[in-house]
Chains A and B, each alone.
Chain A
Amino acid sequence: MDFLLKSVVAPGFFTSQPVITAMIVGGGAAIVSAIVGVFTVIRGQSFAGHALADVSSAGGSASFLIGVNPLLGFVVMALVAGAGIEVFGVKDVRERDLVTGIITGAGLGLAALLLYFAVRTTSTTGAAITVMFGSMFAISQSVAPLAIAVGFAALLMVGLLFRPLLLTSLDPELAAVAGINVRLVNGLFLMMLALAVSLSAITIGAVLSTALLIGPAATALRLASRPGIVLLLAPFAGLIATFGGILLAYDSYGWGGGHGWPVSFCIVALVLTLYLLASLVSRFGIGLKALDIEA
């Protein structure tokens, strides 16, 4: 057993402070993103999720430029973008997509400008790589408390709005007849989405954050048909991908070449692998029916 553990986990993994910080922040991001991701997928808002992540990169870039907690920048900008999508694009799906696309372009443009200034100021390209593609082993310990707070806020909102969210995701008119304020629920969901993608962005970068948002949720949706089970499976898949990705990246320092592999790549590769496995299992009709016991 000890031999097996040592052959899989490189020495110093469990005592490395960057690894511990990455596990805390990445684990929180995986759980929150996967749960919010389930609703994102069933509401057909994957594009909005990606857009918020892209726009949040402007906030992350600004944080590097002015030297504040980068998660704060991601969160503020994602919330602003979410509010923009809700205020300007609520009439129909086509208009919402249009507004989302325009806001995404504007956000990325702003991020490009801020990163240009950051690179000019620091004379390194590290900020651009970190904001866009993540740099988990470089996450500051000071990010962890805010990440935990943001994660709790998002999960609390999901827990409170679980049933109204399900019903509005299914059909807004059915929800309205039940007495639900559909616009309020939609707005609050965009807020949850903004918090989730901010956590993902600080973990694996703004560009790749959609992988943690959509991948584990889609994996769980392939396997189970009960909402409660899906909401347990999705974060489980997200945690496997995140912790497995961190482990692979850490181990990769010993694979030769003198450099480790990017954590973001390892996480995204595992997310894709899990989804493909779930699709295979689902295609052959195995599923997790045994878990779908009566409510």
Chain B
Amino acid sequence: MEGGDEVLGVADLSVAFPGHKVLDRVGFSLRAGEFCGLVGSNGSGKTTLLKAILGFVKPQAGSVYLSRAEGRQPSVGYVPQKIALDSYMPLRARDLVSLGLDGRRLGLPLPDAERRARVEAMLSAVDASGFAQERIGNLSGGQQQRVLIAHALVRRPKLLLLDEPLANLDIRSAAEIVALLRRISSAEKIAVLLSTHDMNPLLGAMDRIVYLAHGRAVSGGIDEVVRTEVLSRLYGYHIDVVRVHDRILVIAAESAGEAHEELAHEPAHVAEIP
């Protein structure tokens, strides 16, 4: 393991479903306050990796290290990929955040000034105070994501996992969510692992990237991985990395060919983790 502030360590993790190997000796680690993008095409194993980290999927080999304070449960917040927030669900935004704080406790919730203050602070931190009284099912996709992030963060976890949180958001909402996560990650020293199939919204915010393809993972800093030759090899077709107004943009070639299998035979870490 690396330094003392490591909050997540994934070592040689392999996961297989009947007749299908999803993850093959995947390894990387995250430190407190790091913002990491988990990037890969649909079906590359991003959700499976997150579920293996959470313990929902049992790996065939390898291990997951999660830091914990004095024998307590691992401190992890999670925002799932799909969650059915129907309009008839009798929960306001603030109720959902409150459940993140004490959802496992038995008995009816009694009025508690400290709990209320923490919920208010969290709603404010994700800019959700304005719609805290609204039914969660009546909120827009971007607003729901903010509330789910507040739900995941209200217990002040050391690690936040988000499964495709930008998938159903417009460009502006996606940028706002990424900026929000970057701000909270830096301010609260929370490690963030965010899965996405489109790395562009993350390029200005990520400290590092874990790229998944053919069950293998490549990890490293942005400057190491987000380069034309590296990405073209990972994706299996030509990728342009363009810099415009101090921003990086990743563009696929017009006629993307078939992804080749080279990555499957690459060592797990193309770029070493600094």
- List residues of A whose CB falls within 8 A of some B CB: 38, 41-42, 159-164, 166-167, 170-171, 173-180, 220-222, 224-227, 229-230, 292, 294-295
Contacts and interface: CB of A to CB of B under 8 A. Distances in A.
The 4 closest A-B pairs by CB, nearest first: A167-B103, A225-B135, A230-B90, A177-B78
B111 A170 contact: no
Name the interface size band of chain B.
35 or more
B106 A161 contact: yes
Interface stretch (B17-25, B93-101, B221-229): B93-101
| Residues of A contacting B: mostly | helix
Contacts of B56: 173, 176
Contact of A167 (B77, B78, B104): B104
B103 A163 contact: yes
B151 interface: yes
Nearest to A282: B88
B54 interface: yes
Given A162-B109, A170-B83, A226-B95, A178 B90 contact: no
24 contacts: A38-B90, A42-B88, A159-B107, A163-B105, A170-B83, A173-B78, A174-B83, A175-B104, A177-B54, A177-B76, A178-B99, A178-B100, A178-B103, A178-B104, A179-B104, A220-B90, A222-B88, A224-B90, A225-B92, A225-B135, A227-B90, A292-B133, A294-B94, A295-B116
A159 B108 contact: yes
Nearest to A181: B104
B73 interface: yes
A222 B102 CA distance: 26
A63 to B, nearest CB: 34
A121 B111 CA distance: 58
B91 interface: yes
Contacts of A170: 83, 85, 89, 91, 96, 99
A174 B78 contact: yes
